[in-house]
Structure 1
């Protein structure tokens, strides 16, 4: 279950960011916005569940997770096509313009980015 490793990485990154920026009086992280490439094939429900389990007793406990999916971006060495690729359930990927399966260079679609987080602070 690679969703657990993504969830762990996400939690560690957020906790380190809050610590390294020396934010004072952080009450909780209430929202996490992610960008996930479609080629990661991450099951978002499993990711959310894994994050919910590992974030207990941290400032991220109960955080809402929103996901924006990023389509793969390819360049075809055969016809020169540059653009997005619609991912189909099978793993056979070919150029949307010329159909060539062997000359595609994948430039995007494997991302896993924390775009931003919403942090709530304690009242002083």
Structure 2
């Protein structure tokens, strides 16, 4: 079941994509690629569901949507290493301490789009 969070995010994504496409003289959007971090608390399935609803009636109505998951990564202040993160505020997998600052995996980014 989609959450309001994903609906609002997808409405913003479609608005940005359509605006940029029109500013660049495009008549339609063929595809959209998003980067969604695993630490972002954004559900990709919910995004896809919301995408079906919000793209109708826009120049992105027939665009394919691809969602790329971005792994979580952080910098451990205690051991000075870049480490993988499976959860926000998780422990460093090397030293076990919780002084890890997230450096990747919490983003939602329009990576690119194809227009005609």
The match for 1:17 is: 20
The match for 1:97 is: 94
Q: Number of residues paired by the alignment?
A: 113
Work out the CA distance in 2 between the residues paired with 1:44 and 1:104.
25
Residue 112 (str. 1) matches residue 75 (str. 2): no
Written as runs of structure 1 = structure 2, the 5 A alignment for 1:1-124 is 1=3, 2-21=5-24, 23-24=25-26, 26=27, 28-85=28-85, 87=86, 93-101=90-98, 103-120=99-116
Q: Deviations over 1:52-95 (max 9, x none)?
A: 1111111111321111111122011111121332x15xx66110
Work out the CA distance in 2 between the residues paired with 1:93 and 1:49.
30
Instruction: Name the SS for the 1:40 alignment partner.
Output: coil
- Runs of 4+ residues over 2 Å off in structure 1: none
Instruction: Name the SS for the 1:5 alignment partner.
Output: helix
Equivalent pair of 1:81/1:95 in contact (CA under 8 Å): no
Query: What is the TM-score of this pair, normalised by structure 1?
Result: 0.82
Instruction: Name the SS for the 2:39 alignment partner.
Output: helix
Work out the CA distance in 1 between the residues paired with 2:48 and 2:62.
10
Equivalent pair of 1:73/1:106 in contact (CA under 8 Å): yes
Query: What is the TM-score of this pair, normalised by structure 2?
Result: 0.87
Bigger-Rg structure (1/2) = 1
